[in-house]
């Protein structure tokens, strides 16, 4: 995961999902990381990387599919789902507004069939549906509670 963070490239297709997945994985196992190269070399630790990831959120809703396209119409469900998992694992309380905005976004783009597609027009996808459901369950408040 550490090498993956150093290799992330904003000119590539998978930079946001790569960062989200790596941040989630490292946070889950309790490991910190100071990137040595690449787009995120200025980050000093996992907390900084989570802050960078949060900056890829579009208007406190969905997350962009690429770091260079953080604007309306470039949201992607898979990136949003993994960002929720990552931010929740790093610091649920600090990123609560981001998490809730992302969960609301995913609920709002759910298809009439009950599933999800990654982006508008992409078509329903079982993998994306599973990831959306997983992150919604993780990112939702406990019953009867508003904050974590």
For residue 141, the 8-state DSSP code is P
For residue 142, the 8-state DSSP code is P
Q: Write down the domain spans for the chain.
A: 2-139
Task: Please report where in the chains the tokens 């993956």 appear, as a residue.
Answer: 4
| CA 12 – CA 9 distance, rounded (Å) | 5
Q: Is 101 helix (H, G, I), strand (E, B) or coil?
A: helix
Q: What is the pLDDT averaged over residues 127-131? A: 98
**Residue 47's pLDDT is what?**
98
pLDDT in tens, 67-124: 999 999 999 999 999 999 999 999 999 999 999 999 999 999 999 999 999 999 999 9
Check whether 148 has a pLDDT greater than 80: no
Q: What is the pLDDT averaged over residues 44-67? A: 98
Q: What are phi and psi of 50, to 5 degrees?
A: -65, -40
């Amino acid at each position: 995961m550490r090498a993956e963070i150093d290799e992330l490239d904003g000119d590539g297709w998978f930079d946001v999902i790569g960062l989200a997945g790596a941040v989630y994985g490292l946070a889950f196992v309790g490991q910190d990381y100071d990137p040595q190269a690449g787009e995120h070399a200025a980050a000093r630790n996992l907390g900084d990387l989570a802050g960078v990831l949060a900056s890829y959120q579009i208007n406190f809703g969905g997350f962009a599919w690429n770091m260079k396209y953080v604007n309306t119409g470039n949201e992607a469900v898979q990136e949003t789902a993994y960002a929720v998992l990552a931010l929740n694992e790093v610091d649920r309380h600090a990123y609560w507004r981001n998490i809730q905005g992302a969960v609301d976004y995913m609920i709002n783009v759910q298809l009439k069939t009950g599933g999800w597609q990654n982006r508008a027009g992409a078509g329903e996808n079982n993998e994306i549906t599973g990831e959306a459901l997983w992150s919604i369950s993780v990112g939702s408040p406990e019953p009867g509670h508003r904050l974590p």
